[in-house]
Chains A and B, each alone.
Chain A
Amino acid sequence: MLTILFDGIAYGMLLFVLACGLAVTLGLMNFVNLAHGAFAMAGGYCLVVLVNRLGFPFFAALPLAFLFSAVLGFVLERTLYVHVYRKPHLDQVLFTIGLVFMSVAGVDYVMGSGQVFARLPSWLEGQINVFGVGLGRYRLLIIVICGLLTIGLQLILSRTRFGSRLRASVDDARVARGLGINVSGVFALTFAFGSGLAGLGGALGVEILGLDPTFPLKYMIYFLIVVTVGGTSSITGPFLASLLLGIGDVAGKYYVPTLGAFVIYTIMIVVLIWRPQGLFARGVAR
């Protein structure tokens, strides 16, 4: 029971790191980015290549995976995404689906279609016992890293100048621009950072979520659930939503395996019908 809760929390934390970039993209520019998973996949493959082929230590590869996805996100944002912001949602959907297909087939071509694994340091394998509950070491690490990241993000958002600019831009981009905030600059940085976080999440998730070229398609719906259920107006909404999703998914698969992912999808639809703005959204009409 506690182990399931623990696994669920680790899974949820991971989902949060993967999806929080998407929340910002969606909230800030009202941009539907279905290709978010592609950045996560890029980070994951970056880690696998660094650790397995080039022999980097695991912890050195993690920041590099972050950096790789962030740079990739920044370049794509400046070259391609900027042209699509003002287009209708249908165009955004088509564009990002196109990117997903390209990334899936491209990675398939370069890396092969099989599932890949990363070599973990030996001290991260196995379990430790805390009060009689077996906790996976790697999952514990994920919780620690993701927890620190979440606190860090929350601090950046609430305490720094950049954070207040970002919040202002999310709340009302036009007024923010009028106040002299460089909204597109803020957005480019945030997009890169969000992609980087996705890459880091993808890298951390190689062990738990598995990694193969269809990753962006498989987890696209999960990211979207986190964002739509959590709402895009704060960082706590998506955080709580990812924890719920993580625990719900792990518990659902454990207790009622016959239903599979069915429960999650149904809950998502119900929530969307019940509260189209998300469960934890503030009552702001957008």
Chain B
Amino acid sequence: MNARSLIGAIRDRLAARSRWNVLEIAFWLVALSTVYLLPGRHLILTEIAILGLFALSLDLILGYAGIISLGHAAFFGFGAYVAGLLAVHGIITEPLLALLASGLAAMLLGFVTSFLVLRGSDLTRIMVTLGVALVLRELANRNAWLTGGADGLQGVEIKPLLGLFRFDMFGHTAYAYCLAVLFVMFLLARRIVNSPFGLSLQSIKGNPLRAAAVGIPVNRRLVAVYTIAAGYAGVAGALLTQTTAFASLDVFAFDRSADLLLVLIIGGTGYLYGGLIGAILFKLMQDYISALTPQYWPFWIGLLLVVIVMVGRERITSWTAPIRALTARLDWRAPRTPVPEARP
């Protein structure tokens, strides 16, 4: 095989990976239809969209790069406060621009803190990410002149989107806005993970030593993906602030990071839709159980986590495998000779 045909083959492989299949299209069509079909459910759907985006962010570093984070709420909260502060002080009043600014701010924070997660074992990473979230929470708590402290950030007023669409109290605008942002961010993430960059991340997750041996700059890649993921989480946080017109210390809470892990585990890691599906299931479950026992809802989360680990994560998420197999068969453009699956 000469160099040119090799390049062609690689390009075909990459193209095959990034091809849209029927179920994916159906998924987004259903998501779009909820804007019109379920107007009474837009408040919870907004929460689902935000949680889905947040889980997507964790999937980028956990599912693709294999970094365990117990403090991902740090970036979520940072984005939320940045968006809130921008609105309160009238620095950037247009929500979309403010969203972008919050995402960039969170990315900056992610870039700075990414050097902390490069070293050490899983435990060190858990501790450091947890520590970063705690430090930020403590900062927000202590600097009450800026953040409102324990009372939360009051007086957030969100101007109409693009100067045209007001945020109404039923959350119709908010939902359409969140869904659109989620979709765009998802497209971007899909592009990222199917690129050579995304493949190199998966090889790092599989075996960092070998990845380095074949010439992948491991640390630079991890810094990059951590930064990107932080930006995603920041955008999710900013969406929360903009749709609820409020930001409180709760955005940094440990529960938020832990719940997020659960969301991702329910849906499955490493194929991007895991976070979205997990977010839907998690929110519906939360809605149902907390209607029964509002105070003791964490017990059931805990039980679910224990059961999932006991049964085995692979078996829990294997319910999506037949669906994925089906989509492969449904794909009318699939090559006749199946490309062997890459094993990281």
Given A89-B122, A102-B299, A269-B132, are A261 and B138 also a contact pair (CB < 8 Å)? yes
Binary contact readout B178-221 vs A (1 if CB under 8 angstroms, 0 otherwise): 00000000000000000000000000000000000000000000
Interface contacts (Cβ under 8 Å), in number, total 125
- Measured CB to CB, the closest approach of chain A to B295, in angstroms, equals 7
A129 within 8 A of B: no
Could you tell me the distance between the alpha carbons of A89 and B62 in the complex, rounded to whole angstroms?
12
Contacts of B130 in A (CB 8 A): 221, 224
Could you tell me the distance between the alpha carbons of A104 and B138 in the complex, rounded to whole angstroms?
22
Could you tell me the distance between the alpha carbons of A100 and B257 in the complex, rounded to whole angstroms?
14
A258 within 8 A of B: yes
B134 within 8 A of A: yes
A279 within 8 A of B: no
Contacts of A104 in B (CB 8 A): 298-299, 302
Our pick among B121, B134, B306 for the contact of A98 (Cβ within 8 Å) is: B306
A101 within 8 A of B: yes
Chain A residue nearest to B122 (CB atoms) is: A89
User: Which of B13-21, B94-102, B308-316, B330-338 is the contact stretch?
Assistant: B308-316
User: Which of B35-43, B231-239, B258-266 is the contact stretch?
Assistant: B258-266
- Measured CB to CB, the closest approach of chain B to A41, in angstroms, equals 14
Contacts of A258 in B (CB 8 A): 142
Binary contact readout A92-111 vs B (1 if CB under 8 angstroms, 0 otherwise): 11110111111111101100
Given A104-B298, A265-B138, are A94 and B123 also a contact pair (CB < 8 Å)? no
Number of A interface residues at 8 Å Cβ cutoff, please give it: 43
A151 within 8 A of B: no
Our pick among B120, B135, B261 for the contact of A97 (Cβ within 8 Å) is: B261
Could you tell me the distance between the alpha carbons of A32 and B130 in the complex, rounded to whole angstroms?
14
Contact B295 A108, beta carbon cutoff 8 Å: yes
Binary contact readout B49-83 vs A (1 if CB under 8 angstroms, 0 otherwise): 00000000000001000001010000000000000
- Measured CB to CB, the closest approach of chain B to A226, in angstroms, equals 11
Could you tell me the distance between the alpha carbons of A76 and B106 in the complex, rounded to whole angstroms?
41
Contacts of A228 in B (CB 8 A): 123-124, 127
Contacts of A53 in B (CB 8 A): none
Contact B127 A262, beta carbon cutoff 8 Å: no
A260 within 8 A of B: yes
Contact B138 A101, beta carbon cutoff 8 Å: no
Contact A98 B131, beta carbon cutoff 8 Å: no
A284 within 8 A of B: no
Contact A32 B122, beta carbon cutoff 8 Å: yes
Contact A93 B141, beta carbon cutoff 8 Å: no
A217 within 8 A of B: yes
Contact B135 A101, beta carbon cutoff 8 Å: no
Could you tell me the distance between the alpha carbons of A84 and B311 in the complex, rounded to whole angstroms?
11
Contacts of A92 in B (CB 8 A): 309
Binary contact readout B135-150 vs A (1 if CB under 8 angstroms, 0 otherwise): 1001101100000000
Contacts of A272 in B (CB 8 A): 116, 120, 124, 127-128, 131
- Measured CB to CB, the closest approach of chain A to B263, in angstroms, equals 12
Most buried by B among A97, A228, A272: A97
Chain A residue nearest to B115 (CB atoms) is: A273
Could you tell me the distance between the alpha carbons of A277 and B306 in the complex, rounded to whole angstroms?
29
Contact B305 A95, beta carbon cutoff 8 Å: yes
Contact A87 B302, beta carbon cutoff 8 Å: no
Contact A224 B127, beta carbon cutoff 8 Å: yes
Could you tell me the distance between the alpha carbons of A80 and B132 in the complex, rounded to whole angstroms?
31
Could you tell me which residues of chain A, from 248 to 286, have a CB within 8 Å of some CB in chain B? 258-262, 265-266, 268-269, 272-273, 276
B9 within 8 A of A: no
- Measured CB to CB, the closest approach of chain A to B233, in angstroms, equals 18
Most buried by A among B262, B265, B302, B303: B302
Contact A101 B301, beta carbon cutoff 8 Å: yes
B residues bordering A, Cβ < 8 Å?
A: 62, 68, 70, 116, 119-124, 126-128, 130-132, 134-135, 138-139, 141-142, 254, 258, 261-262, 265, 295-306, 308-310, 313
**Sampled A-B contacts (24; CB under 8 Å):** A32-B123, A80-B306, A83-B310, A87-B309, A89-B123, A93-B126, A95-B306, A99-B302, A100-B302, A102-B303, A102-B306, A108-B295, A113-B295, A221-B134, A261-B134, A265-B131, A265-B135, A268-B131, A269-B116, A269-B132, A272-B120, A272-B124, A272-B128, A273-B119
- Nearest first, the 9 A-B pairs at minimum CB distance are A98-B305, A101-B302, A105-B299, A102-B302, A276-B120, A89-B122, A98-B306, A95-B309, A98-B302
